[in-house]
Every structure is written in structure tokens, then in C-alpha cells.
Amino acid sequence: MTQVRTRFAPSPTGQVHIGNIRAAIYNWLFARHEGGQFLLRIEDTDRERSTPAAVQAVLDAMAWLGLNYDETPVYQSTQTATHLAAAEQLLKAGHAYKEDKGGTGKGECIIFRMPGTDMGFHDEIKGDLAKKAADMKDFVIVRSDGTPVFHLANVVDDLHMNVTHIIRGDDHVENTYRHVALFRALGATPPKYAHLPMIVNAQGKPYSKRDGAAYVGDFRAKGYLGEALFNYLALLGWSPGGDRELMGRDEMARLFTFDRVQSSAAQFDLVKLLWMNGEYMRALPREQREAACRAVLQERGLWSEALPADYLGRVLDVMAERIKLFTEIGDAGYFFTEDFPFDEKSVQKRLKKEGALEALAAVRATYAALAEFTAASTEAALRELCTARNCGMGDLVHPVRVSVSGTAVGPSLFHLLEVLGQERTLARMDKALEKFKA
């Protein structure tokens, strides 16, 4: 039995679209499932777009997602001689001919002669696909300037790399009829094909930059984990069966088969990705989670070496359920600085409301008298005060929260207070009372 060999064959443009990297993921999963090889070919024949930085973006995205490949990557631009030799072979065999396109005298290009019969191929995902001879025209394989065209380069490279399965986006289905014909004309058996349905937005249109983060680098910059994006994209069009969703790379590779890849478009769902990222974040070892959050805080100028060693860990215990992205810790800056911003709406609604500051002053007096300042003691004291004042908890909780954090939304108030401690809590209440009076 021949070894399965798949490849990822991106054309570097500077950024790696999630649709492309999902194709890489499926190639990787299938190769690993079959105990075969996963290869990388950089289709860098567009010299203007395929800059070293653009190539590096592909390599970085793959490394970040853990898409390890076998063998040395093939750079298509180094294979021109092989492509042209194949064109010569096609000419000799009568499968191609030369023509001065448009008769401009600029030179002749080489044109591939389609077989002239109806064609079909079996797609591992879409089933049997066919096309009428009348709908397929001969096409250029070498331009008049002597450069090979995509179709020729792509097929010849796959042939030389002994690729057995081509897994790519279904925007290539039309090309595949041409490619199958090329393989046959070169005396080779075409590889197996699996065309992946596109990724679409909520309106069913191809998912693009306009819909939000569309490139691997965007997700990385936003603080997503490579493992979570990998898991999410793998499930965008493939399901292992049952309702299992959180799975590592190796387990997905063990379960991956084409018959569980859907043939209809897959809708990108950011809410689900965020949820998944939160799950991966919480599953990380403590030190790793803290290190990632510390990096975000440092970047935002919110980190101080003077903080107690266990401080960030205590903040994360309180925030754990609320953070789905590392970068979100930066939105809870009030844990780390006295100079936190006040949200105007929250101030209007909670502090400038009739009686709010008077209530805040009453809580301040109660909290100043507490011998022990914990989540339990601050909550009990507030409940007592409520009873005494004959008011609702909200009348006290809301002004307190905005005074110590600047915002009306956040984690459990009493746990927040415990982390801040008595001294800082009282100082912040004093500051708010002063700042917002009249």
C-alpha cells in the first residue's frame, strides 16, 4: 500500500486566511491519521507578493498552530526547469501546442489541449463530479515570456512530491478538471481529491476581513491560543461524531475521516471560538496562564513588580469565569492601578443617582469598622446595613462597585473587594465620594 502524502500549498500574500489554514489543518489531520506524510510547498511564483516576510507569515502561522511538516519545504519558484521540462514532454506527446496568442508577435505561449471528452472525478467529500467536454477549453500552461502558469506548476510539483491526496478549498474544483487532465497527459494517475466547503459569515457570504478577524495573525494578536484556534477550525466542517468538541490535535488526528467532513459551507461562529478559547485558557497550568496575563499587563503598562507574588493568581481566581481571552485581563485594569478610568454611563446610573453617594458613605463607615476584610465579611456587613436602612442590596452594591472599579460590570463584588483589601477599598471610596459630590 502506498504511503499517504498530503501537502499544504499556500501562495504567500502576507497574511494567512483562516480558510487556508483550515485546509492545512485537514491535510495535517488526514496525514497523521493515516500515518503518512504532511508536506509543505510554498507556491511563491508571484515574486511581488511572495516576499520573505510573506513566506515567514506562513511559517509562523504553522508553527504557532503546531502544524509540523515532514521533509524540507519545496519552494515552487525553484522548480521552473522541471515545469518547463513537463511542458516539453506534453508538446512532444501532442498534448500541448504553441500559439502566438493574439498574434502580437510577442512570442508563443504553450497551450494544453484538453482531451475533448466529458470528464469526471471522485471527490472524497463532494462525491462524483463531472463536466461536459464542451465546457472545458484548452488553456495556457507556459506564458509567452516563458514562465509556467499555476496549473502546470501545481500539477508537476504534486507529481514530483508524490502527493497522494489533495485537500484544498472548493474554489479549486473547476481547476481540478484541468489538473486531472494534466496528470493523465503526463502519464500519471491523478491523486485523490477532497475539496473543502468554504467558511462563510452569518449571511452565508465568504468570510472575509470585513467580518472581523480573518487571518491567523489577527487571532494570535488578540490573545487566542493556537490550540483553541486549531480545535475550532478543525470542527468547522468536520465532526468526530457524538457531541465531543474539546479535543487535542492527536485525538482529532486519530478520529479524522473524510466521511465526517460536511459538504456544505461552514459558518464561522466567533462566540463559539471565544467559548472554546476560554476553556483552553482555564485548562492551562496556572503558571502559564499567569505568564500570559502578565505579558498583557506589561504591554499595557499595568504591571508593577511591587505587587505581591500571589496577587495576579488571586485576581485570576476571581476573574477566571469572565475571561475568555488573555487580553481581556487588560480590561480589568482596576485591579492593578489606582488610576483606572470611570465609565461615564456607569457613573451617571450608579453614583449620580439620588442618594447614591450617601449610601456609599454609609458603606464606607461600615467597612472601615470591619476587623476582618474578606468576601464573606464584606457581604455580611452589607446585608446587615441593608436591613438597617431598609433598602435593596442593589442600592448599596452598585455604587460600591463603580466607586472601586469605575465600571458597573465585573466579577463578584465581594471577591473583588477581598482582593483589593480594606485599605485600597476605603481609599477608592473616599476618592469617589470626593470626585462625584455635587
Catalytic residues: 209
Minimum Å gap between C-beta 172 and ligand GLU is 6
Minimum Å gap between C-beta 190 and ligand GLU is 13
Nearer to ligand GLU, 178 or 350 (CB): 178
Nearer to ligand GLU, 193 or 335 (CB): 193
**Grid coordinates belonging to 349:** 446610573
Nearer to ligand GLU, 4 or 302 (CB): 4
Strands 37-42 and 192-196: unpaired
Region of 8-16, 105-113, 195-203, 275-283 interacting with ligand GLU (CB under 6 A): 8-16
Minimum Å gap between C-beta 424 and ligand GLU is 54
Between residue 140 and residue 159, which ones bind ligand GLU under the rule CB under 6 A?
Answer: 154
Nearer to ligand GLU, 9 or 323 (CB): 9
**Residue carrying the nine cell digits 495556457:** 140
Region of 5-13, 288-296, 397-405, 410-418 interacting with ligand GLU (CB under 6 A): 5-13
How many residues bind ligand GLU (CB under 6 A)? The answer is 7
In the shown chain, the binding pattern of residues 258 to 277 toward ligand GLU, with x for contact by CB under 6 A and - for none, equals: --------------------
Q: Does residue 11 belong to the site contacting ligand GLU (CB under 6 A)?
A: yes
Region of 9-17, 229-237, 240-248, 332-340 interacting with ligand GLU (CB under 6 A): 9-17
Q: Taking Cα atoms as reference points, which of 286, 435, 425, 408 lies closest to residue 364?
A: 425
Minimum Å gap between C-beta 20 and ligand GLU is 6
Q: Does residue 168 belong to the site contacting ligand GLU (CB under 6 A)?
A: yes
Minimum Å gap between C-beta 219 and ligand GLU is 19
Q: Does residue 9 belong to the site contacting ligand GLU (CB under 6 A)?
A: yes
For 259-313, the DSSP string reads GGB-SS-EE--HHHHHHHHHHHHHHS-HHHHHHHHHHHHHHTT---TTS-TTHHH
Among 4, 6, 10, 50, interactor with ligand GLU by CB under 6 A? 10
Residue number with the smallest Cβ distance to ligand GLU:
168
Minimum Å gap between C-beta 154 and ligand GLU is 5
Between residue 334 and residue 393, which ones bind ligand GLU under the rule CB under 6 A?
Answer: none
H or E segment at 374? none
Give how far Cα 385 sits from Cα of 360, 367, 410, 418, Å. 11, 10, 22, 18
| N-term to C-term CA, the chain | 84
Distance CA 373, CA 421 (A): 7
Strands 199-200 and 139-142: unpaired
Q: Taking Cα atoms as reference points, which of 155, 162, 113 lies closest to residue 6?
A: 162
Helices (H) and strands (E) in the chain, counts: 17, 12
Distance CA 289, CA 292 (A): 5
Give how far Cα 187 sits from Cα of 129, 209, 311, 345, Å. 22, 42, 68, 72
Torsions phi, psi of 75, nearest 5?
A: -100, 115
**Grid coordinates belonging to 258:** 473524510
Minimum Å gap between C-beta 27 and ligand GLU is 9
Q: Taking Cα atoms as reference points, which of 20, 18, 19, 39 lies closest to residue 28?
A: 39
Strand partners, 75: 42
Q: Does residue 176 belong to the site contacting ligand GLU (CB under 6 A)?
A: no
Minimum Å gap between C-beta 84 and ligand GLU is 19
Nearer to ligand GLU, 5 or 168 (CB): 168
Q: Does residue 191 belong to the site contacting ligand GLU (CB under 6 A)?
A: no
Between residue 26 and residue 65, which ones bind ligand GLU under the rule CB under 6 A?
Answer: 43
Q: Does residue 412 belong to the site contacting ligand GLU (CB under 6 A)?
A: no
Q: Taking Cα atoms as reference points, which of 429, 383, 430 lies closest to residue 403?
A: 429
Nearer to ligand GLU, 9 or 200 (CB): 9
Q: Is 311 exposed, middle or buried (0-12, 13-18, 19+ CB in 10 A)?
A: middle
Q: Please name the residues in contact with 290: beta carbons below 8 A apart, sequence gap of 6 or more.
A: 312, 313, 316
Q: Does residue 77 belong to the site contacting ligand GLU (CB under 6 A)?
A: no
Region of 4-12, 221-229, 243-251, 262-270 interacting with ligand GLU (CB under 6 A): 4-12
Binding-site ranges for ligand GLU (CB under 6 A): 9-11, 43, 154, 168, 172
